[in-house]
Structure 1
């Protein structure tokens, strides 16, 4: 008895579901490794975090200096030396007994 040849489309349709599943797993696996939030991106995140922490420390130090100057310029209890320094600097005045040394 001769066997009837099988239709190749039946074999292809039978393998479509596993192939699609494999492609989906490969896609998500690749994204977990190479994606924006993947394992490889974590090293970049750690490097950027260190950089931002250094920048934050610098900004906090500058903020502390500015806060101290603001405190010294409080109208109720201003520091006379700082007020004198700022007035001379902004108005460009000097006392009659002071010597001005130009710096180039």
Structure 2
């Protein structure tokens, strides 16, 4: 029976293994708890839904403003809107109108 002589491990090999293991553990931690990891996934989905609702609200507001601008076109202004703006901004009324102030 032959005896094989085992060579002693070099200390560099153990250090290399520890560094590789450390790098793998760090990468695994980032996958779980990093800024784009699994734990942040639900937070990102919640923020996405919130932003989509905000975009819908701003789109509706923009459409309302576009409609008002179109109604105030100087070439063919809507008389009802023009009258409403005159009454609210300049406090102008017809002589036969009665103004009632409501407390809020």
Instruction: Identify whether the pair has TM-score above 0.5, normalized to the shorter chain.
Output: yes
Q: How many residues align?
A: 96
Specify the alignment match of 1:31 in structure 2.
Answer: 30
* 1:55 partner SS: helix
Q: Could you say which residue in structure 2 is the equivalent of 1:88?
A: 87
Equivalent runs, 1:2-17 vs 2, <5 Å? 12-17=11-16
Q: TM-score, normalised by structure 2?
A: 0.85
Name structure 2 gaps, 5 residues minimum.
1-8
Aligned residue in 1 for 2:6: none
Q: Once the 2 structures are TM-superposed, how far is the Cα of residue 11 of structure 1 from its aligned partner? A: 5.7
Structure 1 moving runs of 4+ over 6 Å: none
Structure 1 residues without counterparts, runs of 5 or longer = 1-9
Give the distance between the partners of 2:88 and 2:100, measured in 1 at CA.
Answer: 14
Separation (CA, whole Å) in 2 of partners of 1:59 and 1:14 = 61
**2: distance between equivalents of 1:65 and 1:91?**
23
Whole-angstrom distance in 1 between the partners of 2:53 and 2:100: 38
Relative to the length of structure 1, the TM-score reads: 0.85
Please state how far the C-alpha of 1:15 moved relative to its aligned partner. 1.0
Aligned-pair RMSD on alpha carbons? 1.6
